[in-house]
Amino acid sequence: MANKTVTLTDNTTGKSIELPIMDPTHGNSVVDIGKLAKEFGYFTYDPGFVSTASCKSTITFLDGERGQLYYRGYPIEQLAAKCCFLEVAYLLLNGRLPTEQELSEFQYIIGHHNMMRENLRYNLIRGFNYDAHPMAMMTGIVGSLSAFYHDNLDIYNPEHRMITSHRLIAKIPTIAAACYKHNTGQPFVFPQNHLTYCGNLLHMMFAVPCEPYHVDPVAEKALDVLFILHADHEQNASTSTVRLAGSSGANPYAAIAAGVASLWGPAHGGANEAVLKMLAEIGDVSNIDKYIARAKDKDDSFRLMGFGHRVYRNYDPRAKLIKEVCHQVLAKYGDDPHLELAMKLEDIALSDEFFIERKLYPNVDFYSGIIYKALGIPINMFTVMFAVARTVGWISHWKEMIDDPELKIGRPRQLYVGEAHRDVPDLADR
């Protein structure tokens, strides 16, 4: 850290303090306001934490202005081109890419932690209504793992933390597939350890006992790339939720379940569902001009979903990669009328001054839903697929946080604007 400071002066009292400036590897410098409350008696006000760094991290960095994303210093484009998902998972967990032997060992560990407890499958999953939303089931089931794996779980023991990480990464696809099978009324399909991580998920979702199932390499590769792109994304809402829940020392399975619940929101992991619903509402290319006009009308409730991002002010680098995957998938599984709509909307967004001025470029959700739909994955499972991929990011951040000697329980402050003081009247006088 450089020895730089910013001087803050209270114009009411004339008192000044020096606040340290912390320099990052990438991105904006950060002002350490830790002594602001003690010295001045003030808190900062930052709704949505748009200008607040809540932690130090070495895991992921995104440059919103340049449209760049790095996992542990590696550009996302290189990882998507040269690595499989489990290589990236190992990288996020351990801080470096695995050797061939380390990858083989990691694949073996993940492959042999992927079973679910039978009483969990028979009693808990079957207890949900047949049409329960898969994300509701995921939240409950992941949280319930804390009741199955609580013995010998010392979160301050590095070995225990790694075992927990392996269990979550391994079991989350099995849980996701079980939720899908419960919705469809089909029998549960057990994992196959000879398959890849994504191949296994496809097998557990779509295989049936009455005929053989062969994993399509096109679908397998598409899912692998999508999972790499969704694996982590810095301090987003769900990752911050995991950190906040985990900062109390809560069971890590409960903390990850909190992340699943946060991801479910339509402004976060549910955005790709919203994209397909929007495309279905537009219906045909001939209707695009009308809906573009509605999107520009601030008094109209219609919004173009899949455009713009809270952090990116440039083309989302993940969207570029997903667009390529989308064409590969549709070349195998046939054209989707939604693709023509999507491409036309993208052309408009990249050429229309309204979108350019507001930097509303297509984001990662814009094409991912079309890919999932082409692979036969229903809309209500889209966010589940996101959760499967993002679990490795969540658990990596949880591990990093627990290992941080500066860890404090999360406790945001507030600007109270309620009643100052009221005396409670007697019941008869109210």
Q: What does the pLDDT look like over 325-373, one tens digit per residue?
A: 888 898 888 777 777 788 888 888 778 888 888 878 777 788 888 889 8
The yes-or-no verdict on residue 2 having pLDDT over 70 is: no
Rounded distance between C-alpha atoms, residue 430 and residue 428, angstroms: 6
Q: Looking at residue 312, what is its pLDDT?
A: 67
Contacts of 45 (CB under 8 A, 6+ apart): 415
* Cβ within 8 Å of residue 118, ≥6 positions away: none
Same fold, 4-53 and 80-411: no
Average per-residue pLDDT in the chain?
91
Task: Give the HSE-up count for residue 108: Cα atoms under 13 Å, Cβ half-sphere.
Answer: 6
What is the 3-state secondary structure of 16-70? EEEEEEECCCCCCCEECCCCHHHHHCCCCCCHHHCCCCCCCCCCEEEECCCCEEE
Fold of 4-53: Rubrerythrin, domain 2 (2.20.28)
- Measured CA to CA in angstroms, residue 42 lies from 20, 25, 339, 414 at distances of 17, 29, 52, 11
pLDDT range class, residue 1, cuts 50, 70, 90: very low
CATH number for the domain running over 80-411? 1.10.580.10
Q: Do the beta carbons of residue 132 and residue 183 sit within 8 Å? A: yes
Q: Return the SS3 of 272.
A: helix
Q: Can you tell me the distance from the alpha carbon of 301 to that of 20, in angstroms, rounded to the nearest whole number?
A: 44
| Candidates 224, 232, 365, 397; catalytic one | 365
Task: Please write the tens of the pLDDT for every residue from 95-125.
Answer: 999 999 999 999 999 999 999 888 887 788 8
Helix (H, G, I), strand (E, B) or coil at 91: helix
**Cβ-Cβ contacts under 8 Å for 77 (sequence gap 6 or more):** 317, 321
Q: Which structure tokens are listed for 270?
A: 């549910």
In whole angstroms, what is the distance from residue 146 CA to residue 411 CA?
A: 24
The pLDDT assigned to 203 comes to 98
Sign, CA torsion 81/86/88/94: negative
pLDDT of 61 over the 60 cut:
yes
CB 231 within 8 A of CB 92: yes
Three-state DSSP at 164 gives helix
Q: Known catalytic residue: 365?
A: yes
pLDDT at 427 over 50: yes
Location of structure tokens 């679910």: 116
Q: pLDDT grade, residue 180 (50/70/90)?
A: very high
pTM, rounded to two decimals: 0.89
Higher-confidence position of 246 and 340: 246
Task: Please state, in angstroms and rounded to a whole number, the distance separating the CA atoms of residues 306 and 295.
Answer: 13
pLDDT digits (tens, 9 = 90+) for 19-58: 999 999 988 899 998 888 888 888 898 888 888 898 999 9
Alpha carbon distance 399, 89 (integer Å)? 13
CA distance linking residue 34 with residue 53, whole number of Å: 12
What pLDDT score was predicted for residue 320? Answer: 81
Which of the following is catalytic: 309, 336, 338, 397?
309
- pLDDT tens digits for 288-316? 999 999 989 989 989 888 887 767 667 77
Q: Domain-by-domain residue ranges, the chain? A: 4-53, 80-411
